[in-house]
Amino acid sequence: MRVGMRKSQSVDVETPPFRSVAFTLSSLGYAISRGFHEALAPLSLEPGEFALLRAVAASGGEAQNALADRLHISPSWMVAIVDTLESRKLIERRPHARDRRVRNLHLTAAGRKLLKQAEQRAMEFDRNVADPLNEQELRRLLELLTRIASGLELEPGSAHSALRDRPSSAG
């Protein structure tokens, strides 16, 4: 008895690209996030850790809880990131001058050195991403992205999603 074999037939149908702003930005965001992660990997630094190092460097000894509030980071997530950076001797918690319950965050010398290296890698990565655009196109793109961010109520200087969103592996 012969069993009927089904011939697979390949159909040359090309799926048209899905052209929407949100989908394109999402796809770009995913690719850029992966690329940025790879750019920081040789420094053993996660994007969220990089973002927090930058915030601590800019704040000049801000209280940990105030920095968490300003960056819209949950206190428990802030403690986890700071614990990691402190264990690597990149950040230190110092007691507040008048309130012993409060700890101010400061970069260590090692933290400043690593941040400088990470910022160099970040700028190089940014140049590679923006390479297809000329100066005028780049300015226009940034203007348009800023308008989209504003429409989504993302305020300038707010926490990068790498800080706000705790990775599922850490949960």
* pLDDT, tens only, 109-131: 999 999 999 999 999 999 999 99
b (16+ CB within 10 A) / e for 8-46: eeeeeeeeeeeeeeeeeeeeeeeeeeeebeebbeeeebb
pTM greater than 0.75 (yes/no): yes
Would you list the domain boundaries of the chain? 38-170
171 to each of 71, 88, 94, 133, 168, how far by Cα in Å? 20, 21, 27, 39, 5
CATH code reported for the domain at 38-170:
1.10.10.10
In the chain, DSSP assigns E strands to 91-95, 103-107
Q: Rounded mean pLDDT of 142-166?
A: 75
Per-residue confidence at 167, pLDDT binned at 50, 70, 90? very low
Beta bridge partners of 106: 92
